[in-house]
Amino acid sequence: MTTFSILGDDNPFLHVSMQRGDKIFCESDAMVMMEANLELKGRMVGGVGRALIRQFVQGENFFQQHIEAVRGDGDCLLAPTLPGAIEILEVGERQYILADGAFVAATDGVEIDAKMQSIGNALFGGAGGFVLMHTKGKGQLAVSSFGNVFTLDVEPGKEVTIDNGHIVAWDARLSYRLSAATSASGGMLGNLVNAATSGEGVVLRFSGEGKVLLASRNRAHFQGWAAGNAQ
């Protein structure tokens, strides 16, 4: 049985312990080290259609890495793209929706499915574009954040406002809606002006019961930093 564990404190590795016949899939270029009993291959997950969605809509890679313990038990180390923490989630009774770039790896029993969201949320919410990645199945899922990870419990009757740039993943049972950051009662124009002057802009409001994983750093800031350093 495959088990995930976190190795290190700052910018950790994902340590994967596999038994003969086990399989995992992970984001392209995630593999850092693997033992001789393991075999690495690049494959499409979910067929050409889903692979194209990941590449052109989500900005992820067409192929993902598949690691299989073909010759016996073995371990491997994976590293996420984002400089920050890794969180291991148990998928099964609880399913999750992932923000862009959060996926690191999953055991063979977990599927990552693509689902459309509303045009308004796609254009202005910044929570994954027109397509969001939903988990299905049962097993372990590893996600990464920019900075540290904090798990927030949303309770019934207590709506929570979150800057979408800090969202890593959330419980699929939660409801969410697009909103201006301010709760001012001055109408749409007043809310937009207050949102712009406060520096927060558009946020997501979650309600229901479930967990939201938050990053201590804003993902949009990291993307800007990465683009600047790539030049």
pLDDT at 43 over 90: no
Q: Cβ–Cβ contacts within 10 Å for residue 32, how many?
A: 11
Mean pLDDT calculated for residue range 32-55: 70
- The pTM (predicted TM-score) of the whole model is 0.80
- Using a 10 angstrom Cβ sphere, with 0-12 exposed, 13-18 middle and 19 or more buried, the burial of residue 158 is exposed
Total residue length of the chain: 231
d(CA 34, CA 37): 8
Number of domains composing the chain: 1
d(CA 2, CA 106): 10
pLDDT one-digit tens code per residue, 117-163? 554 554 444 444 446 789 999 999 999 999 999 999 999 999 999 98
pLDDT at 205 over 60: yes
The pLDDT value given to residue 55: 47
* Residue-by-residue DSSP string for 163-202: EGGGEEEEETT-EEEEEES---SSHHHHHHHHHHHHT--E
Name which of 48-62, 82-96, 161-175 the model is least confident about: 48-62
pLDDT at 186 over 90: no
Domain range for 135 is 3-230
The pLDDT value given to residue 190: 53
Average pLDDT, the chain: 80
Mean pLDDT calculated for residue range 215-219: 88
pLDDT at 48 over 50: no
pLDDT at 92 over 50: yes
CA separation (Å) from 50 to 23, 85, 180? 20, 27, 32
The pLDDT value given to residue 179: 72
Output the domain CATH number for residue 214. Answer: 3.60.160.10
Name which of 31-35, 45-49, 103-107, 153-157 the model is least confident about: 45-49
pLDDT one-digit tens code per residue, 106-115? 999 999 887 6
pLDDT at 222 over 70: no
d(CA 196, CA 168): 24
The pLDDT value given to residue 228: 60
Share of the chain above pLDDT 70, in %: 68
Mean pLDDT calculated for residue range 61-74: 86
The pLDDT value given to residue 231: 53
CA separation (Å) from 28 to 4, 85, 105, 168, 198? 18, 18, 10, 19, 38
- Using a 10 angstrom Cβ sphere, with 0-12 exposed, 13-18 middle and 19 or more buried, the burial of residue 53 is buried
pLDDT at 173 over 70: yes
CB 85 within 8 A of CB 148: yes
